[in-house]
Amino acid sequence: MRYIFVILILAFWGCNKVTQQSMYVQKSNTTLSPPSISVDEAFFNIQTLIRVNDVDPKINIRYTIDETEPTQNSPLAKKHIIVSETGIYKFKAFQKEIKSSNTVSIETIEARKVNWIGLESNDPNETYNSGISVLTDHKKGDWNFRSDEWYGYQDSIVQFSFILEEGEVVNGAVVSTMIDQNSWIFSPENVRLTYHFEDGHKEKHELSIPDCIVQSKKQMNYLKITTPPRYPKKIDITVYNMLSIPDWHSGKGLKPWLFVDEILVL
């Protein structure tokens, strides 16, 4: 009898606790959104600034520069970070009582201004043609592919050719693109870098991207080929797009888009 009485008391207490549960979303069940981070020049010559745009004093932004995930013990990100080397910076937001955010990665590439005397490319789609100079202005485009920083193609093969000044050393190239599969913008499947030398011979380097057909989150996509130092008179950077959008996508069978905002000669 005594046990039954105790159980009834506990049951009543338990029910009473349930009725005190809040009807509102709780902090402990909430996740922070990723921090807002921007970089002045993702492709920089001497140095650039990464800016931390969040100002909420309740939120701490922590970061790493060794490609590991930031933790509560990682350094606090100040308002800006001076960058003078190629690298990947990772940022994460933390707030007491709230789950930490996903990680934001910022990639910076040290890229000198190579002296070239000629640049040619296929004509982009006329809607996304802001002039070929955007490909070498060292300005990173934002996520708005309609902005003046992007060149948009639906061609299967796109080629960029640089004629270089005599004696210019080249260590490779980067094609800066984006992936936004909801907007039918995919990674290409292959990039080829061809050096043409004064004596007529050629040297080819390739980057294959087999993952281009799989589902991917929206991201900036740097397609980088590095080589030993070379002194070509001309370089061709040839981008091979998928012939059609994969079957899992609503645009299956149609031509995917390639968006390029910069070609870096390293």
Q: Which residues bind another protein (CB under 8 A)?
A: 22-28, 30-33, 36, 53-56, 97-98, 142-144, 146, 217-218
Residue 173 sits at φ, ψ, to 5 deg, of -155, 155
Q: How far is CA 261 from CA 72, 102, 165, 234, in A?
A: 35, 26, 23, 21
The terminus-to-terminus CA distance of the chain in angstroms comes to: 85
Whichever of 70 and 232 has its CB closer to another protein, that residue is: 70
Residue 134 sits at φ, ψ, to 5 deg, of -65, -20
Distance CA 236, CA 193 (A): 6
Q: Rounded to the nearest whole angstrom, what is the least distance from the CB of residue 52 to another protein in the complex?
A: 12
Whichever of 56 and 211 has its CB closer to another protein, that residue is: 56
Q: Rounded to the nearest whole angstrom, what is the least distance from the CB of residue 143 to another protein in the complex?
A: 4
Whichever of 98 and 132 has its CB closer to another protein, that residue is: 98
3-state secondary structure of 255: coil
Distance CA 56, CA 77 (A): 13
- 131 contacts: CB under 8 Å, gap ≥ 6: none
Q: Rounded to the nearest whole angstrom, what is the least distance from the CB of residue 54 to another protein in the complex?
A: 6
Q: Rounded to the nearest whole angstrom, what is the least distance from the CB of residue 195 to another protein in the complex?
A: 36
Q: Rounded to the nearest whole angstrom, what is the least distance from the CB of residue 150 to another protein in the complex?
A: 13
Whichever of 53 and 115 has its CB closer to another protein, that residue is: 53
Whichever of 51 and 205 has its CB closer to another protein, that residue is: 51
